Amino acid sequence: MNSTVSVLLFGITRDLTGQSALSIPIQTETRVGDLLDQVRQQYPALAGVRSLLVAVNGEYAEVDQTLTSKDEIALIPPVSGG
């Protein structure tokens, strides 16, 4: 079964895509790593972002976590400051 998820973008990820959110199609058993691959294929500039974290429903997620269309997903770039 195919569905879509909304992926929220912050910081440099928003700058590189020109969008604050993406709608990404997923299939049953799509994992966080699969989603990242899809997003990087669609937006090659994101491939250069190191240490990109993914949050699913407000919690940091591992690449093998399975997604559903009801999940709230956010891409969190590295943050520097002083």
Q: How far apart are CA 49 and CA 18, in angstroms?
A: 15
Highest mean pLDDT among 1-5, 24-28, 63-67, 78-82: 63-67
- Considering only the C-alpha atoms of the chain, give the largest distance between any 2 of them, rounded to a whole number of Å: 46
Whole-number pLDDT of residue 81:
58
Range 11-31 average pLDDT: 93
78 - beta bridge partners? none
Q: How far apart are CA 55 and CA 53, in angstroms?
A: 7
Instruction: Output the domain CATH number for residue 72.
Output: 3.10.20.30
Q: Is the pLDDT of residue 4 over 60?
A: yes
CA 49 to chain centre: 12
Is 82 part of any domain? no
* Predicted TM-score of the model (pTM): 0.88
Is 81 part of any domain? no
Tokens matching residue 42: 């669609």
